[in-house]
Structure 1
Amino acid sequence: MRISIIGSGYVGLVTGIGFAKLGNDVVFVDIDEEKVRKINEGVPPIYEEGLEELMRELRGKYRATTSYEDAILNSDVTFICVGTPSREDGSIDLKYIRSAAEGIGRALNKKDSYHLVVVKSTVVPGTTEEVVLPILEEYSGKKAPEDFGIAMNPEFLREGSALRDFFNPDRIVIGANDDKAKKILEELYSPLDAPKLFVDIKTAEMIKYASNAFLATKISFANEIGNICKRLGIDSWKVFEGVGLDHRISPHFFRSGIGFGGSCFPKDVKAIVRKAEELGEDPILLKAVLEVNKRQPLKLIELLKKHVPELKGKTVGVLGLAFKPNTDDVRETRAYVVVKRLLEEGANVVAYDPKAMENFRRMYPDVGERIAYAETAQEVLNSTDVILILTEWPEFEELDYSGKIVIDGRRVKNAEKTAEVYEGVCW
């Protein structure tokens, strides 16, 4: 098929390159001319494991443009993959969704043949039909489903393993209210061997939120139990090894530490909480999930001050700034909370991350411009005797932490074995 992708961030770029690998022709649309230039040169504007190699392999099967008209008139299916950031009240900001729908609508006005528009961005239930669809109809002068189709196809890509997730999904959820849209997406995804769940549009939107809210709940639950285990001298990771063997529960996401970050879990839980409140519900469990996650990274500072009571003037090494390994994404990273508190306590911070340092400096200038950045992890160890581990990058397992005080938020085994003083946040 001929596919256009609106937005070339972590979701859009991986999705588009994935479809290109499956034999489709793909055109990306982005307002950022630098991103467009890089994509056309075969260079990913983000870091995702395996993406650069695949983009080189598929040169000629995809291209990028800033023109909606160029993309829509030369494709049959369009995926909206733009960001939906949080507002201060927790609700999602739909400005990028609205802009994309308007751009698509204007282009559809100049097209005679049927076109399918698929929302892949994470949006609260009702958004596709109540926001996107009316904008498309207004600017195209056409009516769905006769002149064009509308569908919702949530993404379940984990940053750091997004390409593997695209080609080996647990499930593919297709939200469509008419048979033509359903059949097109069924054909598009036919090369992928995974359960395909066909539901209405609003249900597809809710499946995404319910999935992320539940996974976030498992993490905060693990941290609550982990904090109790820490007080009792119990290794919470062993506890959850036993708990996870129950087939009704599974071991996934039972990794106690300093909490969850990234572009999905914090934003999505806040959004569903806000939506529930608008409907007159009080989602106390989900509010608690967020509150536990907010407090959890500061447990690391509490442990640090047991061994270094006075942080003022002390140099503290930080290993890891990305919210998780194998990505350069720092959105909602727990490292920001920790580094900010260290600076408030008067500490000097020297940090290293293999991929995320420039993003951290740019996204969090209030702290990013006030810390030193090392060129290697070993340089951090050479700079100080006090080390905080905030991201479980594999290379941190290769270090010798002898003579160091290590406060570990992510369970790096070699630090546990070699550090002079070792404290795990929940173990």
Structure 2
Amino acid sequence: MRVGVVGAGYVGLVAAAGLALGGHQTVIAEANPSRLARLRERRAPFLEPGLDEWLRRAGERLSVVSSVREMGPRDAIMIAVGTPSGVSGQGDLTQVRQAVEEVVRTAAPGTVIVMKSTVPPGTGRELVRQYVAPARRGLAYVSNPEFLREGKALHDWLHPDRIVVGAEEAWAAERVAELYRGIDAPVLRTDITSAEMIKYAANALLATKISFINEIANLCELVGAHIDDVATGVGMDPRLGPHFLQAGIGYGGSCFPKDTRALYFTAAVNGYAFELLRAVIEVNRRQRIRVVHRLNTLLGGLAERSVAVLGLAFKPGTDDTRESPGLEIARTLAGYGAKVQVYDPAAVLPDSGGPPGSPVVLSPGLVRVASLEDAVRSAQAVVVATEWPEFVEADWERLYRLMAAPRVVFDGRNCLDAARLAAMGFRYVGVGRRVAPATGDADVAPASLAEGTGGA
């Protein structure tokens, strides 16, 4: 099949490469000059393990152009552009509308427009009314939401849990289902608005599990329970499962924060108060603040204290810092007068010129450094915000010697060996964990229980 993809972000580029490897003649349109140049060299403009290899393997089945007009006749054109949050949390559909308008204007009769971007329920119906139907050229619109996880997107493309196809015309639904030939997954066919709602409902429910386990972690600290055991016991129930029950400092990234806010806004403008979702969003916001509060207490204030924040990518395996808990915590600490050194092995910050190579001042009191050792040197506290293997497997005995008293380790992902760090003398602070008190520096009064704050 002849397929076009508009947008070379995480979703669009993985989809284009996957479609080409699936045997479809695929062309991707990307207007950004720097991204376009990298794509023509068969290099992804962001970190996604294995994607460069997919781009090379796609060979002549995948071509790159700078605009929709250059695509030529296509059987299907997939739209995968950004839908960032607006001021009130609503999805900003500017790029989506521009893409649909251009596709409708240039597409050959009988083309199927496939919406891969995440848009609020009801959007597709409106786009059909405003753009597709008036064209009167036999165009069809299909909602085909994505369920790709950054860092594991290639696996998810090849092994999806389900393929959702929302369409009003049976022939259009059939054509979109054919795009996934060779992929063994159930296909759910529904209407356009239900397909849009499936995407939002799935992300909202996963975010709810994260915020729920964070609230349980907070309660564990108050009553003396151990969140690791609690989460394990809860996850053994097959009705609940173990996924997304890892307590920590909250969810981030390009999907959960944006999609939960957009769904809450959609409910509000339709006259419904989605109080459960409001609480999910608020719990996630509060988890990051609790880190700052806890450090303020443990360090006797934040002004002039030295703190290392490890992890700027919102999760390991990606360089994406959108809605990064670690970055928000670091900026908040610096705003309260702390001297903050941040380190991440891969994260790309728009205002820092890319991955670290030498120290970069991000703002007053906030410096990005080039190595883990540089980050923790002379630090009185460390916040592990992303569970990169480099941090989990680090030589913490050496890091102990590099740090200064009181040597607090705030394990924001519960990814470290709490008992081992406490035995080394660190003042270990987990998330709803109960550990032995630190036995190190004599000038620090040891705690009797785990010191934590909850978060995921």
SS in structure 1 at match of 2:90: coil
CA contact (8 A) 2:309 2:341 kept: yes
Deviations 1:86-126 (A, max 9, x none): 11111111100111011112212xx3x42111001111111
Matched, 1:231 2:257: no
> In the alignment, which residue of structure 2 is the partner of 1:58?
58
SS in structure 1 at match of 2:34: helix
Q: CA deviation at 1:377?
A: 1.7
In the alignment, the residues of structure 2 paired with residue 400 and residue 261 of structure 1 have an alpha-carbon distance, to the nearest angstrom, of 28
CA contact (8 A) 2:295 2:302 kept: no
1:119 aligns with one of 115, 120, 138: 115
> In the alignment, which residue of structure 1 is the partner of 2:132?
136
Q: CA deviation at 1:315?
A: 1.8
Give the gaps of 5 or more residues in structure 1: none
TM-score by length of 2: 0.87
CA contact (8 A) 2:320 2:348 kept: no
Matched, 1:268 2:259: yes
Give the gaps of 5 or more residues in structure 2: 355-360, 401-406, 434-456
Q: CA deviation at 1:357?
A: 4.2
Matched, 1:333 2:324: yes
Matched, 1:342 2:333: yes
Q: CA deviation at 1:235?
A: 1.8
SS in structure 2 at match of 1:296: helix
Residues 231/357 of structure 1: CA separation in 2 closer, same or farther (3 Å cut): farther
In the alignment, the residues of structure 1 paired with residue 238 and residue 217 of structure 2 have an alpha-carbon distance, to the nearest angstrom, of 21
SS in structure 2 at match of 1:59: helix
In the alignment, the residues of structure 2 paired with residue 130 and residue 256 of structure 1 have an alpha-carbon distance, to the nearest angstrom, of 39
Superposed, 1:216-227 pairs within 5 Å as 216-227=207-218
> In the alignment, which residue of structure 2 is the partner of 1:36?
36
SS in structure 1 at match of 2:231: helix
CA contact (8 A) 1:219 1:260 kept: yes
Q: Percent identity?
A: 41
In the alignment, the residues of structure 2 paired with residue 104 and residue 295 of structure 1 have an alpha-carbon distance, to the nearest angstrom, of 42
> In the alignment, which residue of structure 1 is the partner of 2:2?
2
Q: Which amino acid aligns with 1:423?
A: V
TM-score by length of 1: 0.93
Q: CA deviation at 1:134?
A: 2.2
Matched, 1:413 2:416: yes
Q: Which amino acid aligns with 2:226?
A: D
SS in structure 2 at match of 1:28: strand
Residues 65/415 of structure 1: CA separation in 2 closer, same or farther (3 Å cut): farther
Q: CA deviation at 1:418?
A: 2.8
Q: CA deviation at 1:275?
A: 1.1
Task: Please report the RMSD computed on the Cα atoms of aligned residues, expressed in angstroms.
Answer: 1.8
Matched, 1:422 2:428: yes
SS in structure 1 at match of 2:3: strand
In the alignment, the residues of structure 2 paired with residue 302 and residue 282 of structure 1 have an alpha-carbon distance, to the nearest angstrom, of 30
SS in structure 2 at match of 1:368: strand
> In the alignment, which residue of structure 2 is the partner of 1:96?
95
CA contact (8 A) 1:28 1:64 kept: yes
In the alignment, the residues of structure 2 paired with residue 75 and residue 52 of structure 1 have an alpha-carbon distance, to the nearest angstrom, of 25
Q: Which amino acid aligns with 2:181?
A: S
Q: Which amino acid aligns with 2:69?
A: E
In the alignment, the residues of structure 2 paired with residue 400 and residue 406 of structure 1 have an alpha-carbon distance, to the nearest angstrom, of 14
Instruction: Give 1 or 2: higher helix fraction.
Output: 1
Larger mean Cα displacement after TM superposition, 416-425 or 200-209: 416-425
> In the alignment, which residue of structure 2 is the partner of 1:149?
140
Q: CA deviation at 1:318?
A: 0.9
In the alignment, the residues of structure 2 paired with residue 386 and residue 164 of structure 1 have an alpha-carbon distance, to the nearest angstrom, of 37
> In the alignment, which residue of structure 1 is the partner of 2:284?
293
Superposed, 1:165-204 pairs within 5 Å as 165-204=156-195
Deviations 1:340-370 (A, max 9, x none): 221122111111111114347479xxx9344
CA contact (8 A) 1:116 1:151 kept: yes
Q: Across the two proteins, how many residue pairs are aligned to each other? A: 415
> In the alignment, which residue of structure 2 is the partner of 1:249?
240
CA contact (8 A) 1:321 1:360 kept: no
Q: CA deviation at 1:24?
A: 1.5
Residues 416/127 of structure 1: CA separation in 2 closer, same or farther (3 Å cut): farther
Deviations 1:221-241 (A, max 9, x none): 011111011222322121010
In the alignment, the residues of structure 2 paired with residue 240 and residue 271 of structure 1 have an alpha-carbon distance, to the nearest angstrom, of 29
Residues 357/41 of structure 1: CA separation in 2 closer, same or farther (3 Å cut): closer
